[in-house]
Chain A
């Protein structure tokens, strides 16, 4: 309590004694202002541990959204500035990546310590610049940032033993949005540095200050020059950074639209990319929930950070019997929420990032009103504030139900059964977070399993920790920030060279668009069967497409002639088209969920059996390989044997990679579930046609995916002959679907298909570029080879951890626990 000097201001003690109202409780921002003044309220870039303020740059006035005051001017980077920063990071990479793991751990530990020592200043700067409440900056953002620093100091220490087979990537360009400037910074920078990379960080234009302060703190902590650099500016700088030839990895957090742009921008360059994008996360409240507690869960879900949270629980689904009761409780709770200046510690919500954002939010809400929805709001001050809002009486087609509003707006819809709740929850282009409220544990866990999202909270929402990766699926992006799973975004296989390519110029509209087919060949191979009586042709062998568990004629009824080594027509295979892709993807999509539901043991039995049946036909496959590829019998024998071994490898891994328990700070259990991607499109290379096919298909199906696979364009008959093996191995229909034909034509339609969740492409540089570029349409995960061949016989290259990484995505399920509070 301060002295009585200020007691003169109204209202008096006796008045407050009667009204029992709250008063203001403003955080002192003197030290933050001092820091701004130290810099004359003008900031440049922070490169090589120095302030770089080049002449003649445009400036941006960063404001305190709550007060509307200009805090400082930052500069807008140019190509020259980006080159300077990338040069610094590139130079520093040589020494930083060569340091011992322990040495890097010491640096990260030192940063963590220094961040703690400056934590109050960081929190105040964050609250000022972003508009978020001081309480959240202090209780959430800064502790989470510190936690990430310590957690990753640990990974830096353990990298040699825990990340065997992986190596740093190089220079990382990290670009983040304005909603959690410091938290997102930590999410990107910590794993990047821990794995031995150097970083250029580009904060959002209107929330750059905390990143610049953090850069000073890193320098104070002794981080070597160039390891961490900050460059400020708008979307032009983002483009320059992401497309810079010396940047090896782009890590992004922001809107889906910008993420899609970055995917297109970096396509074919060989850069790694991870995208943490938007969401429209469902909050499912069952009648079996503790409703009062669920109301508090919703406060955390949608009114945390003014709803400007990627995982904001913005779609409330409530079970019909308790819908009205629950909405009533929620409205009553909303009346006690307080909205006001971010530095006032008695506020639940501060300002949104900018007055222009208020308009964006208001437009959605107005539209809902016009659609006849009921809009419930409380009061908010004028300016850059938007009140907590609850919308009822809307349908699934409303924009306020479909779009990520990124504001404090909640839409509520009723549901009847758990099955319907799951359908509604998944009825979105996004898949970032979700929460389930029920006291029935069996229901909660089942729903968590069925909802497509990167994080599912049971009886809570928006709980984060460095030990559990954050990130999504579908159009919420790919890659994870945090957890061991997050480290893989900043490493590459040791055997793999650095990928730096100049993307080929491609007409994306024309690539793979042409459909063609073979005309009859008059130079057939016509294999003969010779007996004592007579010589006669072998019975014609027909190769069909294989999808949905059945052999199918190609939709176009055209075929492709496959030549043997003597250039004679050895066989005809189907020339698949767009409709075959459509049918195969549909079959795969139908079959995949039940395949995923099967036990790992069951999947492993099928893969082992596949290996068994493959070996039974060893000689036939060897002969087949010899005829079409011209390799020696010995070499072909090696390929068949390696394929059997590989199937054993993946059969073994069917029940040994389900996940783990994450060691977060939650009192309870966080389950890391390594879930399948869903339907994976696979375009196989021509080398090792059998082994490459098996090497790509087996890990995908082992981990619960269904595949639509295009076998080697040149030698499709060997893998195609496997469908008979599959049928005898009890592989259910629709899990492995094989389409023959033109690799790039089929790749085009697979990559463009929105119901294909990942595309693996092993072909040309052009094809690789096309796949990455086109994958932006639904933010597919991709894995392409940029025309580089790998040694499929090698265990490292043919069955390394990389395959598991691509075949799965992590879902973290947060299970709180506790019922014991006393005796």
Chain B
């Protein structure tokens, strides 16, 4: 990542001046996939790029070191060797952007990745994920403990109550504290957009998170009713763009929740290219939080290489 977001004082006038027109946003979001597409080798290349942006994720109550270890292996070798060879990418060192787990699984994941020699950051959800309905003190302590376990990225959840009650100062203060607790680890602020009520609030929350120093802003936990949908992504990208234009600071973006198909990944890449430009089209600035997506991408790559569709049993599971 380029120079980190150092944040700025809360600018309430900026936050309150935000106006978002949902019908227009929806129209633009719908047109993205119609106005742009990638075919043939362009599609293969873009899908490979998408692979490098995946935060390969498992966030389940029954996660143990066994499946997390498998996940780490898959993140280090996300696409079958023969496919990479056929694509002329065998020496590219292609791997996922990060492995994303619960705090209790961080130590195991860090150890596994170290053992297999993969330089992949471990990201952990924290601050009372997914609801955030815990005392600030324990939320901050959770961040510190997780960083101590070796997490390089912390996906914190924001306090939705403060958004819904309009307490932007309170939200800002909490996020500044969390950013402090993260230390050297990068802070990815999960807005939980499906619980913010309006796109105007999504934009405002995006701005406050960036003002507080978030390195990434992220759509959702994957546990809300509405997660990563394009209209939300569009609005968050516009917020990132405006923040960059006003401060010169580039903040990353991570959609998460509901991205399962290769074509979804392509549309999100298109969104990033169109709204933010190529500077954001890499895993320093863009991540996709997903688990099943990788399998579908690999299947599409198989088809590109062989001209036939693969059986799911032929591709290594995560």
**Residues of chain A having any CB pair with chain B under 8 Å:** 1-7, 9, 11-17, 20-25, 135, 139, 288-290, 292-294, 296-297, 300, 336, 345-346, 348, 439, 459-460, 667-668, 816-823
Contact = CB atoms under 8 A, between A and B. Distances in A.
Contact of A290 (B24, B45, B88, B273): B24
A624 B242 CA distance: 77
Given A459-B21, A459-B24, A818-B23, A823 B88 contact: no
A9 B89 CA distance: 16
B197 A4 contact: no
Interface in B194-215: 194-200
Given A13-B88, A821-B198, A22 B20 contact: no
Contacts of A16: 41-42, 44-46
A774 B19 CA distance: 49
Contacts of B229: 821
Contacts of B281: 20
Contacts of A290: 19-21, 24-25
B232 interface: yes
Say whether chain A's binding surface is mostly helix, strand, loop, or mixed.
Answer: loop
Contacts of A3: 304, 307
Contacts of B44: 1, 7, 13, 16
B89 A17 contact: yes
B39 A4 contact: no
Contact of A14 (B26, B40, B89, B193): B89
Interface residues of B, number: 56
Contacts of A21: 42
Interface in B1-49: 19-28, 34-46, 48-49
11 contacts: A3-B307, A4-B306, A13-B44, A13-B48, A16-B41, A20-B269, A135-B34, A345-B37, A460-B27, A821-B226, A823-B197
Given A348-B35, A821-B226, A22 B42 contact: yes
Contacts of A288: 19
Nearest to B43: A1
A667 B25 CA distance: 13
Contacts of B86: 4
A321 to B, nearest CB: 11
B37 A821 contact: no
Contacts of A2: 39-40
A294 B238 CA distance: 13
B107 interface: no
A336 B274 contact: yes
B42 A822 contact: no
A246 B303 CA distance: 62
Contacts of B43: 1
Contacts of B173: none
Contact of A293 (B25, B40, B45): B25
A290 B25 CA distance: 10
A1 B28 contact: no
Given A819-B200, A821-B232, 10 more contacts: A4-B304, A7-B304, A11-B41, A13-B89, A16-B44, A23-B39, A290-B24, A667-B23, A818-B23, A823-B224
A14 B232 contact: no
A6 B307 CA distance: 11
Contact of B26 (A4, A336, A818): A818
B231 interface: yes
A460 B88 CA distance: 46
B36 to A, nearest CB: 6
**Which of A14, A346, A348 counts the most chain B CB atoms within 10 A?**
A14
Nearest to B86: A4
Contacts of B274: 336
A445 to B, nearest CB: 15
Contacts of A460: 23-24, 27
A822 B49 contact: no
Contacts of B19: 288-290, 439
Nearest to A10: B41
A20 B24 contact: no
